[in-house]
Amino acid sequence: MATEKRTWFITGCSSGFGEQLVRQLRALGDNVVATGRNADSKLAHLKDTGATILNLDVTAPQAELDATFQQAIDIYGGVDVLVNNAGYIQCGAIEELTQDDMQRSLNTNFHGPINLTRSALSHFRSKGETGGGLIIYMSSQSGFIGEPAGAGYCASKFALEGAVESLAKELGWLAPGIKLLLLEPGIFSTEVMKNINHIPNRVEFWKPLNEACRVRGAGNYGKEPGNAVDLVSKVIQIAKGTGVAEGKELPLRIPFGSDCVKAFREKLQGFMKIVDDWDEVARSTDFPDQKGPMPDLPDK
């Protein structure tokens, strides 16, 4: 059954998931605004798809992001789906990472998506009484599980997941027609393993760890267990409510890849063991006359 034609605004389209989204969506006939830094050169290979190509650095000031998103609205008369895909990975032991190093990760992986969300929300809120639209965030297995030498990346993804979960509850109260989706892939067949930014060795003690991470990244490139083309195909189905998503309610988070599912299960099982083992101690810190948590927000 044919689905309604939609307009997508996608960041980070030079390669990987972003490029695949552009190509598959255009093949389906949807409108696509493909964005990226230095778009004239880095997105030139997408011109034959018929996508609209706009230059955009997600770390730009809010006003610049607002203007670019408005440009997409003006071109197509509206935007239906925002995909926050642009990302930056920096690898290094936390003792060696400077605040500036951490800030670069946060600027791209956290502030960029949240700022673009602000650009989109007023437009999505204008669509009917409950609003309308979908915002997709390319998070990661690393948004739930910390990794050695991955503090910058993991911190930015953990922050993104917390902010998006909070926003989902805000929207659920006042604008339930606007949906959010966090994608949490493991290791997939993209260029990401080749594009890791390794900081120089600054503390001799951590040199073995940094070298091991370089070997790991290089070893994973070209041998990734996850199929990026298939993931993108399924994400499109999920966004449209077809195929693998037919008849299913859209969740806030979806993990992808057997490696991710295995890691998530192990962490969740370990966390539940802690909760069970320390339940009595945790409850013992309540006031004797404690009446329970504050109630949820009332109906609007």
Catalytic residue status for 88: no
Active site annotation includes 139: yes
Please state, in angstroms and rounded to a whole number, the distance separating the CA atoms of residues 164 and 38: 28
- Phi/psi for 291 (5° steps) reads -100, 5
> Looking at residue 190, what DSSP letter applies?
S
Please state the φ and ψ torsions of residue 187, each to the nearest 5 degrees.
-95, 120
Could you give the CA distance from residue 84 to residue 74 in angstroms, rounded to a whole number?
A: 20
Catalytic (active site) residue 157: yes
The residue annotated as part of the active site, out of 88, 157, 179, 189, is 157
**CA gap 290, 285 in Å, rounded:** 10
Cα–chain center distance at 278: 33
Contact 171, 120 (CB under 8 A): no
Q: Helix (H, G, I), strand (E, B), or coil: what is residue 42?
A: helix
- Burial class of 105 by CB neighbour count within 10 A (0 to 12, 13 to 18, 19+): buried
Which of 14, 15, 139, 140 is labelled catalytic? 139
Which residue among 15, 76, 153, 179 is the active-site one?
153
Active site residues: 139, 153, 157
